[in-house]
Amino acid sequence: MLKPLLPIAGRPLIEWTASSLIDAGADEIFVLLNSKGRAARTALRRRFPGKRWIFFEADTRSSWDSFRIVAGALAESADRFLISTVDALIPAEEIARFASPAHGVSLALTSFVEDEKPLWADLDERGFISALGPDAVDKRFVTCGLYGVTRELARSMYAAETHASLRDYWRSLVRSGVPVRGLPISKTIDVDRPEDIATAEAFLSSREARSC
């Protein structure tokens, strides 16, 4: 099964992610899918008919390659924009807070850690990321699949071969001294493993119960 169409509480995973972005205020969403993901286009257009969708198809070699393509496309029309992975379940109110242009280049962080390979992040006293991954010492927060990117940063990205993965890119960026703000947000869920499905459904159920 295609990951974007994985059923979570009766709806495809990508619908939950898109719904949070839309509720946070997004009115145009660029979606990168591989050549096997065309069914996700139909699902999104059917579920959110009033939104402007821009679909792009590419069989990329890595998470970094995908990220670079999306960032480059969005930089054509925006000074700053958000990029989310498909498996990041983040409350809309947290996305809206993260979206502030004042945050510049930034990574959303959470203290809820249920990940086989968490990307740990240390923060300095000003709220900027001082270390990522193996360089992190405090290990209070992990990244959670939501990124704030500026046009300037997008245009500085190198060719796809430069980095093996997206986490390698961000780690090298922090090491190079580029200011990257880290914004702790509330509990989020990444759906990476079969056992994450039950965790995600319980998370969504509890949020819906509170909203009612």
- For 116-152, write each residue's pLDDT tens digit: 789 999 999 999 999 999 999 999 999 999 999 999 9
Mean pLDDT of 148-160: 90
Domain boundaries 10-211, corresponding CATH code: 3.90.550.10
The pLDDT confidence band at residue 205, using thresholds 50, 70 and 90, is: confident
Is the predicted pLDDT of residue 115 greater than 90, yes or no?
no
At 208 the pLDDT is 67
Neighbours of 10 (CB within 10 A): 8
Tell me whether residue 177 is exposed, middle or buried, using C-beta atoms within 10 angstroms of its C-beta: 0 to 12, 13 to 18, 19 or more: exposed
Mean pLDDT of 37-59: 94
Is the predicted pLDDT of residue 1 greater than 90, yes or no?
no
Look over the chain and give the mean of its residue pLDDT values, rounded to a whole number. Answer: 92
Residue ranges of the domains in the chain?
10-211
Q: Which of 42-46, 102-106, 133-137, 204-208 has the lowest mean pLDDT?
A: 204-208
Cα separation, 134 vs 20, in Å, equals 31
Q: What six digits make up the tokens of 200?
A: 């995600």
- Angle of the 166-175 helix axis to the 63-74 helix axis, nearest 10: 70
Alpha-helix runs per DSSP H in the chain: 13-23, 38-47, 63-74, 92-98, 151-156, 166-175, 196-211
Q: What six digits make up the tokens of 91?
A: 């409350």
Is the predicted pLDDT of residue 210 greater than 70, yes or no?
no
At 129 the pLDDT is 98
Residue (of 99, 129, 83, 113) closest to 190 by Cα position: 113
Q: Decide if 43 contacts 5 (C-beta within 8 A).
A: yes
At 209 the pLDDT is 54
Query: Which residues on adjacent β-strands are paired with residue 82?
Result: 148
